[in-house]
Amino acid sequence: MNRMTMEDMQDFLIAHPQAERIELLFPDINGIMRGKWYSPESADKLVAGKVRLPMSSYALDIAGNDVDGTGLALASGDPDGYGWPVPGTLVMKPWSANPAAQVMMTMTTPTGEPCVYDPRTRLASVVERLAARGLTAVVATELEFYLYERGEPGEPPVPPKGLEGAQVYDLSAVSSLEPCLEDIQAACAVQGIAADVLIAEFGPGQFEINFHHSADALNMADQSILFKRLVRGCARQHGLAATFMAKPYGGEHAGSGMHAHVSLIDADGRNIFDGGDDLTEPLRHAIGGALATMRPFQAVFAPHANSYRRFQPGSYAPTLASWGLDHRGVAVRLPETSGPGARLEHRICGADVNPYLALAGILGGILVGLEDGIEPPARTVADPTGARLHHDWFSAVEEFGGADVARRIYGEAFHHAYTEIRFSEIARLAAEISDVEYRTYLRKL
């Protein structure tokens, strides 16, 4: 594991003497940031790995509660892990009221091993397994999100004024929120987030950001999760709120996804997906592996109850494990098959996904395809064909919990914890009676 040096820290603090604190960011299984505020005067302790946090902090449910079934927290004495700042992620936080910096953190056990519950280590494990085959993943993500009017907790979102209808590629929609969107782009520049293109998407107040491709999958996941934090912070400055919820509006309004573009380069820097008019064997096996693991990993790609509202016929969220050439109705799209841009696009993740776990599953599925020589099913030309994806949350979690391939990619301990957390979330929400049930049934039955 690469470590930040004290020289790196001192250079940053000399360049940014105004920083009053350093926010330590530990993203949990749900992609929620846990951590601490640290004084710049204690930077030597931070670099030396003396920051301690319970390892169970990674395995909390969406409400921030311990889940007994994981066997963590008090069931095991709730031991601490040791936090380490990730090199290259120490940056200023432009939207803070007072000058502040932030840094991504990863964790080791008291014996110095990577903490298996840290989502970043799950992706690192897959990257290392690809490297053992002489391969490097080149990855770019696309993230959709909604801006909406700030309201009270629990209230449904209300679109920004003047943005009530469909707005796909509408430059006037971008212009109407120009101050906020410009601040988002400026904050990306400050934080080294390689945002490329920003466009208006289908829903009212919905936008998409595309990131430059990177040969460092961990860095791409870092950028993706930090972008979420950045957008929320900038939105608050403009009296708005932002959400990466998969389907914040009902009806025909679009859901928000996170697509991932992936190619593989070998030790000589050659894109092994580049086959001209024909699909190379590695590309065929990559498609086969991605499709074969799509249902078993869907509980990661669509982690919450609301995630499954995206999977509707006729939408741009695929409902079948299908693939095709430049076809936006399929789950795995091939935008290009020749040249350095030859790649596949994995299209089923919701924007509510944890980017580390999503990329671990996507790259892990590709790895399984390469290791097992999995051939893809027939290509979609018109209407998508393929195995039906899960349409409900419980079935997806149940399949993940019983899938040997999920243990193979995510590891036994993490697989168990993730399954227990999701079943706990299912049970908690199932115990709640929704307003729509009262409106529909209470006075008629």
**CATH number of the domain to which 62 belongs:** 3.10.20.70
Residue 66 has a pLDDT of 93
Residue 289 has a pLDDT of 98
In a domain, 430, yes or no: no
Indicate the Cα dihedral angle 322, 326, 327, 333, nearest 10°. 30
Burial class for 34, CB neighbours closer than 10 Å (0-12, 13-18, 19+): middle
Can you tell me the distance from the alpha carbon of 11 to that of 440, in angstroms, rounded to the nearest whole number?
62
**CATH number of the domain to which 324 belongs:** 3.30.590.10
In a domain, 398, yes or no: yes
First to last CA, the chain: 61
**Apex 244 CA angle, 153 and 196, nearest 5:** 140
For every one of its 445 residues, what pLDDT tens digit does the chain have, with 9 covering 90 and above? 789 999 999 999 999 999 999 999 999 999 999 999 999 999 999 999 999 999 999 999 999 999 999 999 777 788 999 999 999 999 999 999 999 999 999 999 999 999 999 999 999 999 999 999 999 999 999 999 999 999 888 889 999 887 876 666 677 777 888 899 999 999 999 999 998 878 878 888 899 999 999 999 999 999 999 999 999 999 999 999 999 999 999 888 889 999 999 999 999 999 999 997 789 999 999 999 999 999 999 999 999 999 999 987 766 789 999 999 988 889 999 999 999 999 999 999 999 999 999 999 999 999 999 999 999 999 988 777 788 999 999 999 999 999 999 999 999 999 999 999 999 999 999 999 999 999 999 999 9
Residue 121 structure tokens? 């280590």
Residue 440 has a pLDDT of 95
Q: Find residue 325's DSSP bridge partners.
A: 334
Q: Which residues contact 371 (CB under 8 A, 6 or more apart)?
A: none
Are 274 and 399 part of one and the same domain? Answer: yes
Final residue of a structural domain among 91, 117, 143: 117
Are 112 and 138 part of one and the same domain? Answer: no
Are 234 and 289 part of one and the same domain? Answer: yes
Residue 190 structure tokens? 């400050």
Helix (H) or strand (E) holding 332: strand 332-336
In a domain, 61, yes or no: yes
CA distances 104 to 85, 288, 319, Å, are 6, 34, 35
The full DSSP string for 51-90 is EEEEGGGGG--TTS---GGGS-GGGGT--EEEEEEPTT--
DSSP letter for 192, please: T
Beta strand extents in 244-385 (DSSP E only): 258-265, 320-321, 323-325, 332-336, 343-346
Can you tell me the distance from the alpha carbon of 90 to that of 97, in angstroms, rounded to the nearest whole number?
18
Are 331 and 191 part of one and the same domain? Answer: yes
Are 91 and 154 part of one and the same domain? Answer: no
In a domain, 445, yes or no: no
- Residue 305's closest CA among 131, 110, 123, 62? 62
CA distances 374 to 195, 283, 405, Å, are 34, 10, 13
Are 75 and 152 part of one and the same domain? Answer: no
Are 81 and 176 part of one and the same domain? Answer: no
Final residue of a structural domain among 117, 140, 158: 117
Residue 198 has a pLDDT of 83
Residue 209 structure tokens? 């950001």
Helix (H) or strand (E) holding 121: helix 119-132
For residue 191, the SS3 value is helix
Can you tell me the distance from the alpha carbon of 230 to that of 193, in angstroms, rounded to the nearest whole number?
10
Give the 3-state secondary structure percentages of the chain, helix then strand then coil, rounded to 5: 40, 20, 40
In a domain, 280, yes or no: yes
Can you tell me the distance from the alpha carbon of 7 to that of 437, in angstroms, rounded to the nearest whole number?
59
Are 97 and 193 part of one and the same domain? Answer: no
In a domain, 203, yes or no: yes
- What is the distance, to the nearest Å, from the Cα of residue 92 to the centroid of all Cα atoms in its chain? 22
φ, ψ for residue 36, nearest 5 deg? -145, 160
Residue 13 structure tokens? 């603090």
Print the domain residue range for 86: 6-117
Final residue of a structural domain among 117, 145, 162: 117
Are 101 and 31 part of one and the same domain? Answer: yes
Can you tell me the distance from the alpha carbon of 355 to that of 221, in angstroms, rounded to the nearest whole number?
5
What is the pTM for the complete model shown?
Answer: 0.96
Residue 383 has a pLDDT of 79
Residue 337 has a pLDDT of 93
Domain count for the chain: 2
